[in-house]
Amino acid sequence: MLFVLLLLHAVCGTAVLIAGRRLGRGAWLVGAVAPAAVVVWLVANSGRVVGGSGVSSRAEWVSALGLALDLRVDPFAALMIVLVSGIGVLMYAYAWY
């Protein structure tokens, strides 16, 4: 799920860049989807994250070379996610006004 959230940021950012003028003031809503989804995901998984076990995902990249991409959300990472995503959503809300 962590990789899906990363991909969602890329898709939303690209959509705002490509269709921003056509969307007009609605572009803020498209841009705010990804940070809001991260905050919702974090609230839904807060028991596992804060409980100390954390949440992790692993994606094999080049298995022949043993290369993989590991993502982990622990309590400190959760704090940073709340700060960055929360400020991101607030920036989009401010831009709407």
pLDDT at 47: 85
What per-residue confidence (pLDDT) applies to 18? Answer: 92
Output the pLDDT for position 95: 78
CA distance 47 to 16: 33
Q: What whole-number distance in Å separates Cα of residue 12 and Cα of residue 6?
A: 10
pLDDT of residue 80: 92
Q: How far apart are CA 41 and CA 67, in angstroms?
A: 27
96 Cβ contact partners less than 8 Å away, ≥ 6 residues apart: 25, 28, 29
Report residue 15 as tokens: 């959509």
Q: What is the pLDDT of residue 48?
A: 85
pTM, 2 dp: 0.79
Residue 54 to residue 48: CA distance in whole angstroms: 6
Rounded to 5 degrees, φ, ψ at 17 are -65, -40
User: Which parts of the chain register pLDDT below 50?
Assistant: none
| Residue 7: predicted pLDDT | 93
